[in-house]
Amino acid sequence: MITPVSPKTARLAMLLVGLSLLGQPPVDAASPPQVVVETAQRTEIVEVVTLDGTVRSLHEAELSVQIGGLVDGVFVDAGDQVVAGTPLLELDSELERLALDELEAQRREATAARREAARRLREARSVGAGRHIAETEVQARAASLAQADARESRLNAAVARGEARVAKLRVDAPFDGVIVTRQAERGEWVDPGDPLFVLVDLDVIRLDFPVPQRFHGLLGDEAELAYRPDDGSAAGWSEARIATVVPVTDSTDRTFLVRGEPEVNQTLLPGMAVEGRLRLPTGRHGLTVARDAVQRYPDGRTTVWIVTGDGDTVAERSVTLSGGFDERVIVTRGIEPGAAVVVKGNEALSEGMTVRPTDEETH
């Protein structure tokens, strides 16, 4: 005799067959829900400060000429990579070189005059002063030699100055870098102080962050700085070494400068914006739990679920919070250290429900 099967029983049987075909075990309606728990512990409280910073080059210079003149040649353009000593610009040197040639001729004349004065003095001394030549004549020839020496020295200095002026008619790169801007063309007249080129070193960069002055007292050896490019990408945080702290507060926005040195080889260009995260240990300790453990209600209540020792049941506890850092919150009232706090799977719990506690690794 065949026993009739109800439609509800038939649908359940079909569901179980379908799950078995998919490789899934049948659902046990009586199985308690699995939750992830962690032990509430007292930890050091850390102040985490979010910062907005800028990438800076340690070597950035506006280059100009040292003497005025007419631009005779420009050898680089914006975007060019140069090494130290590369000629960038040269002024017209015709007049300076003619003046130098004139000084060279005067120096040769002075050298010849000095030699003649020295010969005349040697001759006077050789015949004997007071016997064949007057003593005053010997002294006059010695004075002439001294004057010739002085004139030759003066012209040597003038020639050196002329050579230096000719050398300064050219602008060379003082360090390796890239030409960012060029403000000179052949045929233009330029004066000292005119910014003709901006040269930036892309290899040695730092991260500058203005930090509110109230955090200056917490900035010790244990402080940690992290950064990431503010370019909308999903790039993770990278560590940076705190290289410099400028202990002078800006009177306008009440901040001081923290300069970081990137510890990884990351493509950062001077002028780029970066996000910063400064971790400052406070020296204080408090009870902390994961931020995901906290349940917030529209009426203002804040609670966490804990697993009690009575057969792995859960109970809801009202807690008082006092800020937080990273992904943790500080609990000042409501639970004790050592409590097993539910951090995942707490969305549909009810008072006294039996659960299967686990940790993150086995979940």
CATH of the domain at 38: 2.40.420.20
pLDDT, residue 360, reads 66
Looking at the fold, whether 133 and 99 belong to one and the same domain comes out as: yes
| 220 — pLDDT class (breaks 50, 70, 90) | confident
CATH number at residue 274: 2.40.30.170
Rounded mean pLDDT of the chain? 85
Looking at the fold, whether 66 and 184 belong to one and the same domain comes out as: yes
Q: Which stretch of 118-122, 154-158, 159-163, 234-238 has the lowest confidence by average pLDDT?
A: 234-238
- The pTM of this model reads 0.64
Which residue, of 227, 260, 284, is where some domain finishes? Answer: 284
The 3-class SS string of 53-103 reads EEEEECCEEEECCCCCEEEEEECCCCCCEECCCCEEEEECCHHHHHHHHHH
Percent of the chain scoring above 70 in pLDDT = 88
Asked if residue 19 is part of any domain, the answer here is no
pLDDT, residue 15, reads 45
**3-state SS assignment for residue 19:** helix
pLDDT, residue 231, reads 74
d(CA 169, CA 199): 19
Asked if residue 22 is part of any domain, the answer here is no
Looking at the fold, whether 177 and 80 belong to one and the same domain comes out as: yes
Looking at the fold, whether 190 and 67 belong to one and the same domain comes out as: yes
Asked if residue 252 is part of any domain, the answer here is yes
pLDDT, residue 185, reads 93
Average pLDDT over residues 334-340: 89
User: In terms of DSSP bridges, do strands 87-91 and 238-250 run parallel, antiparallel, or are they unpaired?
Assistant: unpaired
Percent of the chain scoring above 90 in pLDDT = 48
Average pLDDT over residues 200-227: 90
Average pLDDT over residues 116-143: 84
Which residue, of 230, 252, 284, is where some domain finishes? Answer: 284
Looking at the fold, whether 108 and 224 belong to one and the same domain comes out as: no
Calculate the CA 66 to chain-centre distance: 32
CATH number at residue 81: 2.40.50.100
Looking at the fold, whether 150 and 245 belong to one and the same domain comes out as: no
| 190 — pLDDT class (breaks 50, 70, 90) | very high
Looking at the fold, whether 70 and 196 belong to one and the same domain comes out as: yes
Which residue, of 223, 250, 284, is where some domain finishes? Answer: 284
Looking at the fold, whether 139 and 262 belong to one and the same domain comes out as: no
Asked if residue 14 is part of any domain, the answer here is no
Cα 261-266-268 angle, rounded to 5 deg: 75
pLDDT, residue 166, reads 93
pLDDT tens-digit readout, 300-324? 899 999 998 766 888 999 999 888 8
Looking at the fold, whether 178 and 78 belong to one and the same domain comes out as: yes
Q: Are 124 and 140 in contact (CB under 8 A)?
A: no
Q: Which of 36-50, 161-175, 213-227, 339-353 has the highest mean pLDDT?
A: 161-175
d(CA 86, CA 92): 18
The total number of structural domains in the chain stands at 4
Asked if residue 4 is part of any domain, the answer here is no
With 70 as the cut, is the pLDDT of residue 251 above it?
A: yes
Looking at the fold, whether 296 and 346 belong to one and the same domain comes out as: yes
Looking at the fold, whether 219 and 237 belong to one and the same domain comes out as: yes
Asked if residue 20 is part of any domain, the answer here is no
Asked if residue 38 is part of any domain, the answer here is yes
- Domain range spanning residue 275? 48-58+203-284
pLDDT, residue 230, reads 82
More confident residue, 233 or 291: 291
pLDDT tens-digit readout, 56-100? 999 999 999 999 999 999 999 999 999 999 999 999 999 999 999
| 22 — pLDDT class (breaks 50, 70, 90) | very low
Q: How far is CA 296 from CA 5, 301, 320, 321, 328, in A?
A: 48, 6, 11, 11, 15
pLDDT, residue 322, reads 86
Looking at the fold, whether 306 and 337 belong to one and the same domain comes out as: yes
CATH number at residue 128: 1.10.287
Asked if residue 9 is part of any domain, the answer here is no
